[in-house]
């Protein structure tokens, strides 16, 4: 090999190296450009564009629905699923005339309409889920006629299918309820403000009945609770006027009958001289008693009448199951203090403790918080009554004297000789003679046409004995 050869060969080797370098650079440039194109493409095309076609879009739309007919929505569907599917349909350029496009749009509209129903109805869970629609819904308390009209216009659906009909119905009904609430408010406004002058009862009573019926029908709907208490106040005023008139006027039968057709008024007049019904309340004090209470319950059940049991806290603690049984059999439980002290002889603090502790004990045993109490020996007067503004003090106007006599027939005679048209009878479920006397007393009172009611319905004039 010559020197020149060596030189030539070095030159050619250098040239070949240059070529390789250029090739490499151009390869890198090509790869780089390729990558750039890919990145650019990825930026403009939805990431999964390559993975779906028309069939897959159809499948995605079907997923939004519960059934083949594609009317009810799949309960598991989310807002994201819907938006995603609508986007795919748009991307594929599926036209408005095509069914798959229609169904994706419909799913979206239905979903939004159902979602908005949760701003209309007061409920923790979805108003419509799959095929199930909640019934007996109440409107949200802050809903107004203007806002429901705005929401329902926005979500009005066109279509013949069942779900569309149900959604539209729920919006229509919400609007109707609020219109009815507005009507009740108007009706309330037409009742006379001032009842001090001449009151035309023939005109007023049907008005009261109409308002009452509407209030009962719309119970639980927005503002109704407020209207209800306004109405009750008004009826109490009317009742006072009626009672006053009753002292000088004799009402005709038809008018009297109308008075008692209005439940709120009837409650106010219950037990008054206008109430021609024969009312009796059987009350049993000092229980529950393991020997006698169950026997009393059995006789009450036999004659299908209800009674009220004024329970002692200490006895309820001993026999909670009996207290519970009384409630389970549909009778009233009331408070008769904890340990039966003479409330007139103990301090306010002690009186409060006697009654409040018993409220708790009765609630724990029965799940019921009493609304009535009776002072042991009927003693305590206005001082005790004033301590419990939230509770009703209940006395009696016929004493069976079952605590004196152990002769069932004598107890029956005591009662029979003293019955009034409106009577609260005092008894004690702690004597066998009391139990036995019931077999005489109850059938006799039923024969005479007495209704067995709770003591408040009898409407005693007095809350306590002086
Ligand atoms: Zn007692």
How far is it, in rounded angstroms, from Cα 186 to Cα 230?
13
Query: What separation in Å is there between the alpha carbon of 381 and the centre of ligand 1?
Result: 15
Are the beta carbons of 292 and 283 closer than 8 angstroms? no
Query: Average pLDDT in the 137-145 region?
Result: 94
What does the pLDDT read at residue 50?
Answer: 47
- CA dist 340 to 104, 195, 285, 377, Å? 73, 45, 10, 9
Angle (nearest 5°) at CA 35 between 34 and 36: 90
- 107 vs 91, which has greater pLDDT? 107
Query: Average pLDDT in the 175-201 region?
Result: 91
Query: What separation in Å is there between the alpha carbon of 429 and the centre of ligand 1?
Result: 10
Query: What separation in Å is there between the alpha carbon of 337 and the centre of ligand 1?
Result: 9
pLDDT at 168 over 90: yes
Residues, the chain, total? Answer: 466
Kindly report which listed range (40-54, 314-328, 388-402, 409-423) carries the lowest average pLDDT score: 40-54
Provide the annotated active-site residues. 285, 428
pLDDT at 453 over 60: yes
Of 425, 424, 427, 429, which Cα lies nearest the Cα of 457?
A: 424
Question: How does residue 33 score in pLDDT terms, banded at 50, 70 and 90?
Answer: low
* Mean of all residue pLDDT scores within the chain: 90
Q: Which DSSP symbol is given to 42?
A: H
Percent of the chain with pLDDT over 90: 74
Query: What separation in Å is there between the alpha carbon of 377 and the centre of ligand 1?
Result: 6
Query: Average pLDDT in the 139-154 region?
Result: 94
pLDDT at 44 over 60: no
Query: Average pLDDT in the 129-154 region?
Result: 94
Query: What separation in Å is there between the alpha carbon of 59 and the centre of ligand 1?
Result: 76
Torsion angle (degrees, nearest 10) of CA 453, 439, 318, 387: 30
Query: What separation in Å is there between the alpha carbon of 431 and the centre of ligand 1?
Result: 13
Alpha helices in 247-380 (DSSP H): 253-261, 263-269, 293-303, 313-318, 320-328, 348-366
- 195 vs 77, which has greater pLDDT? 77
Query: What separation in Å is there between the alpha carbon of 376 and the centre of ligand 1?
Result: 5
Of 310, 318, 428, 295, which Cα lies nearest the Cα of 365?
A: 318
What does the pLDDT read at residue 95?
Answer: 82
Tokens standing for 348? 């306010």
Query: What separation in Å is there between the alpha carbon of 263 and the centre of ligand 1?
Result: 33
Of 209, 197, 204, 113, which Cα lies nearest the Cα of 152?
A: 113
How far is it, in rounded angstroms, from Cα 215 to Cα 209?
10
Are the beta carbons of 103 and 138 closer than 8 angstroms? no
Percent of the chain with pLDDT over 70: 89
Query: What separation in Å is there between the alpha carbon of 161 and the centre of ligand 1?
Result: 67
Q: In CATH, which superfamily holds the domain spanning 279-458?
A: Glycoside hydrolase/deacetylase (3.20.20.370)
How far is it, in rounded angstroms, from Cα 335 to Cα 375?
9
* φ, ψ dihedrals at 327, nearest 5°: -65, -45
Are the beta carbons of 419 and 398 closer than 8 angstroms? yes
How far is it, in rounded angstroms, from Cα 11 to Cα 9?
5
What does the pLDDT read at residue 1?
Answer: 42
Residues with CB under 5 A from ligand 1 (ion): 285-286, 376
């Amino acid at each position: 090999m010559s020197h020149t050869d060596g030189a030539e060969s070095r030159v050619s080797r250098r040239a070949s190296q240059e070529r390789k370098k250029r090739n490499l650079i151009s390869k890198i440039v090509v790869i780089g450009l390729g990558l750039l194109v890919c990145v650019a493409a990825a930026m403009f095309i939805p990431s999964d564009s390559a993975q779906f076609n028309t069939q897959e879009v159809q499948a995605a739309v079907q997923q939004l629905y519960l059934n083949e007919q594609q009317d009810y929505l799949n309960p598991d569907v989310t807002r994201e699923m819907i938006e995603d599917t609508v986007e795919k349909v748009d991307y594929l350029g599926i036209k408005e005339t095509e069914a798959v496009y229609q169904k994706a749009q419909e799913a979206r509209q239905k979903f939004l309409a159902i979602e908005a129903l949760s701003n209309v109805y007061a409920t923790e869970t979805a108003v419509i889920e799959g095929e199930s629609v909640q019934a007996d819904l109440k409107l949200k308390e802050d809903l107004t006629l203007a806002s429901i009209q705005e929401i329902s216009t926005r979500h009005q659906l066109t279509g013949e299918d069942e779900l569309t009909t149900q959604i539209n119905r729920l919006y229509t009904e919400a609007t109707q309820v609020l219109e009815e609430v507005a009507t009740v408010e108007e009706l309330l406004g037409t009742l006379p403000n001032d009842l001090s002058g001449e009151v035309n009862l023939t005109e007023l009573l049907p008005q009261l009945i109409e308002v009452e019926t509407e209030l009962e029908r719309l119970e639980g709907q927005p503002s109704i609770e407020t209207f209800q208490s306004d109405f009750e106040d008004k009826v109490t005023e009317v009742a006072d006027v009626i009672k006053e008139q009753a002292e000088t006027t004799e009402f005709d039968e038809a008018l009297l009958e109308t008075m008692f057709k209005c439940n709120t008024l009837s409650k106010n007049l219950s037990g008054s001289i206008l109430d021609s019904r024969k009312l009796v309340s059987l009350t049993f004090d000092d229980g529950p008693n393991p020997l006698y209470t169950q026997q009393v319950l059995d006789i009450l059940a036999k004659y299908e009448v209800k009674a009220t049991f004024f329970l002692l806290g200490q006895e309820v603690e001993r026999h909670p199951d009996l207290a519970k049984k009384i409630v389970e059999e549909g009778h009233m439980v009331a408070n008769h203090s904890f340990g039966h002290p003479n409330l007139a002889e103990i301090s306010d603090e002690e009186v409060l403790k006697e009654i409040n502790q018993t409220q708790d004990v009765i609630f724990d045993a029965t799940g019921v918080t009493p609304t009535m109490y009776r002072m042991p020996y009927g003693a305590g007067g206005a001082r005790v009554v004033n301590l419990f503004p939230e509770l009703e003090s209940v006395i009696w106007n016929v004493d069976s004297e079952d605590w004196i006599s152990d002769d069932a027939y004598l107890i029956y005679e005591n009662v029979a000789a003293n019955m009034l048209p409106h009577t609260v009878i005092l008894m004690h479920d702690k004597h066998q003679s009391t139990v036995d006397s019931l077999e005489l007393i109850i059938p006799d009172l039923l024969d005479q046409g007495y209704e067995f009611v709770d003591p408040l319905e009898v409407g005693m004039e007095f809350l306590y004995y002086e």
